[in-house]
Structure 1
Amino acid sequence: MATRDLPARVRDRLTAVRRAVLRRRRLLAVLCTVGAVAAGLRATAPPAAPTEQVLVAVRDLPAGAVLDGDDLHTVEVEPDRTPDGVLTDAEDAAGAILAAPLRAGEPVTDVRLVGPDLVDSAPGTIALPVRVSDAAQVGLLEVGDEIDLLATDPESRTTTTVASGVLVLAVPAPDQEAPDAIPGRLVVVGIPVATVADVTGAAVTSFLTYAWTSR
């Protein structure tokens, strides 16, 4: 009996499926149309624009900050929006010292780090770290200041100008681990090659201070 009823049950099931399809034919037609349109759009859509990875600051960072992995992250940008000298590898920036403040989301470039690339912003000069005798004086400086470097001889008590119109390139944070025998504080300046010997010699024999350049 069950065997004789099997064809009838199959016919009934097929009839039910056909009726369900007919009842929903409009919905199925719409779905098929949407699928076809989506496939066509994917086929004709232009390829994704190329991007490059660059390092940007996670948060605002002050001048003199020593960079580590928590300070930076990688973002994708269009090639024509990538600044020159931008860093792309966090390992290249790890341990570097910021020469100037960096805003959150701002790319990290070579001229923002303490090093020889700083002089790119001051053609005709070289970057030279000098130790100003009064650390508090250095705290008044900002990147971009123009100063005259003054040397005071402790024996003759005379002061001379050893370099004029010096550009402040970086103001590193104080080294808390520096021995007490080394007073003052370092500042990185851009000076002409011809004045390097005078400045470095004065830094050893005299007290170095500065005066802002008159404009």
Structure 2
Amino acid sequence: MQRALARHRVLLASGLAAGAVAAGLTAVAPPPEPRVEVLTAARDLPAGAVLTPEDLVVASVPGALLPAGALSGPAGAVGRLVAGPVRRGETMTDVRLLGAGLLPAGGEASEVAVPVRVAEPAAAALVEAGDRIDVLAAAPEGGPTAAVVASGVRVLSVPALGDDPGEGSLLVVAAGRPAAARLAAAAVSGLLSLVVLPR
């Protein structure tokens, strides 16, 4: 009887000690980090995709992980184009989207959207929105040299090819105003080609 009572007291003391330790740990544990709602991609999206409600989902993330320019809801994203490929679960930010005027929201104020018709449709098929390219101009008679008209311009959009491949392929790029003027002049006086730059 005495032995059973002693065993009971030991078990009771152990339980009380464990409870005290747990209570102490709870008291010193930091409060849960506040979470915020952000807009994320519901699936992998290719560059230039026009966003629909089905492409987007709102997720809750720790506030410390919130990137600058993160969107909190679909209202500011639906109908816009993604500037580059987006992975499922990636947070959508203002600079990842192309605005109604094609230029990214929050982009360089000095940039304008410039249509560029490339002589070779196959070359245009190698690029996608978000790529950086050099645009070169050659004389219509096909001289041995080409001049760089615009360097490192960002591709904003690659519209679908027209019915007549002889007309070349249209790209829309973001360029500063001086480069935009050179591109416009070169488009009139010569054939344009492109070089895709490393990402």
TM bucket (normalised to shorter chain) is: 0.5 to 0.7
The answer to whether residue 36 in structure 2 is matched with residue 52 in structure 1 is yes
Structure 1 length normalisation: TM-score? Answer: 0.61
Structure 1 residues 53-68: aligned runs within 5 Å: 53-68=37-52
SS in 2 for 1:117: coil
Aligned to 1:69: 53
| Matched positions, count | 171
1:149 to 1:125, Cα distance in 2 relative to 1, 3 A: farther
Q: 1:128 aligns with which of 83, 100, 113?
A: 113
Task: Give the strand-richer structure, 1 or 2.
Answer: 2
The residue aligned with 1:93 is 77
Measure the CA separation in 2 of the matches of 1:69 and 1:63: 17
Unmatched 5+ stretches in structure 2: 1-19
For 2:159 and 2:62, how far apart are their aligned partners in 1?
38
Cα distance between partner residues in 1 of 2:142 and 2:106: 33
Decide whether aligned partners of structure 1 residues 75 and 183 sit closer, same or farther in structure 2, where only a CA change above 3 A counts: farther
2:154 to 150, 165, 168: 168
Cα deviations by residue, 1:150-191 (Å, 9 ceiling, x for unpaired)? 23454x555642524323344x35337x67699444434343
Counterpart AA for 1:209: S
Question: Whole-Å Cα distance in 2 between the matches of residues 77 and 146 of structure 1?
Answer: 32
TM score, norm. by length of structure 2? 0.65
CA contact (8 A) 1:144 1:167 kept: no
- Per residue, is there more helix in 1 or in 2? 1
* Structure 2 residue aligned with 1:116: 103
Please provide the CA RMSD for this pair.
3.8
- 2-side partners of 1:129 and 1:182: how far apart? 21
Aligned to 2:177: 193
Q: Deviations over 1:20-70 (max 9, x none)?
A: xxxxxxxxxxxxxxxxx9xx99xx787653222111111111111111000
1:118-171 Cα offsets, whole Å, 9 max, x none, are 785xx79725333333332112125665533123454x555642524323344x
Q: Is the Cα–Cα contact under 8 Å of residues 127 and 188 in structure 1 kept in the other structure?
A: no
Distance 1:65 1:103 in 2: 12
Taking a change above 3 Å as real, the CA distance of residues 64 and 184 of structure 1, as seen in their structure-2 partners, is farther
Tell whether 2:120 aligns with 1:141. Answer: no
Runs of 4+ in 1 over 6 A off after TM superposition: none
Q: CA deviation at 1:93?
A: 0.8
The share of aligned pairs that are identical, in percent, is: 34
Map 1:20-39 → 2, pairs under 5 A: none
Q: Displacement, 1:79? A: 2.1
Please say which structure displays the higher CA radius of gyration.
1
Gaps of 5+ in 1: 1-36
The residue that corresponds to 1:78 in the other structure is 62
